[in-house]
Amino acid sequence: MTTASPSPLVPPFTRETAILKVRAAEDGWNSRDPQRVSLAYTVDSVWRNRSEFVTGREEIVGFLTRKWARELEYRLIKELWAFDGDRIAVRFCYECHDADGQWFRSYGNENWEFDEKGLMKRRHASINDLAIAESDRLFRWPIGRRPDDHRGLSALGL
């Protein structure tokens, strides 16, 4: 996960550094720590997440706090889709359940743009949710970082 200090994962990205940047973002989000995650973004970062628009770290922390209060047992996998210069596109999938115990698998795409320090200054996310049975879950590792030996999206057929 990148922090407010300069990161070795800075643009222009290579395939290798883009993959590392995607995994760092996945690891951060799987921490479910809004403050930690917000440090990967510029202080004035601009997001579009579904129909919600968020600007700046303070709003990012608020958004993620609300998100993880309702998306329980959240587990996420991200995969590099494309990259060029200071931009990365990913596809992702996460599983979680609501307060009533209904499980969901949410699929989406994100477009990211970074500053010269490797902090994300722009994030656009499009996401679709699918209700699933608990028995259909594919992401069953302990809460936190996805184990290195856990299959990614392509290997899971997602």
Question: Which amino acid makes up residue 20?
Answer: L
Mean pLDDT of the chain: 95
The whole model's pTM is what? 0.93
Question: b or e along 60-72 (b: 16 or more beta carbons within 10 Å of the residue's beta carbon)?
Answer: bbebbeebbeebe
Chain CA centroid to CA 77, Å: 8
- What pLDDT does residue 8 have? 75
pLDDT digits (tens, 9 = 90+) for 64-123: 999 999 999 999 999 999 999 999 999 999 999 999 999 999 999 999 999 999 999 999
Domains and CATH numbers, the chain: 15-140+151-156 (3.10.450.50)
Torsion angle of the four alpha carbons 111, 29, 72, 70, in this order, in degrees rounded to the nearest 10:
-60
Q: Is the pLDDT of residue 3 over 90?
A: no
- φ and ψ of 92, to 5 deg: -150, 165
Q: Are 54 and 121 in contact (CB under 8 A)?
A: no
- What pLDDT does residue 4 have? 47
Residues in the chain: 158
- What pLDDT does residue 158 have? 96
Task: Give me the percent of the chain exceeding a pLDDT of 70.
Answer: 96
Q: Is the pLDDT of residue 7 over 70?
A: no
Q: Is the pLDDT of residue 5 over 50?
A: no
Quote the CA–CA distance of 139 and 136 in Å, as a whole number.
Answer: 9
Burial of 114 (0-12, 13-18, 19+ CB in 10 A): buried
- What pLDDT does residue 6 have? 43
- What pLDDT does residue 1 have? 46
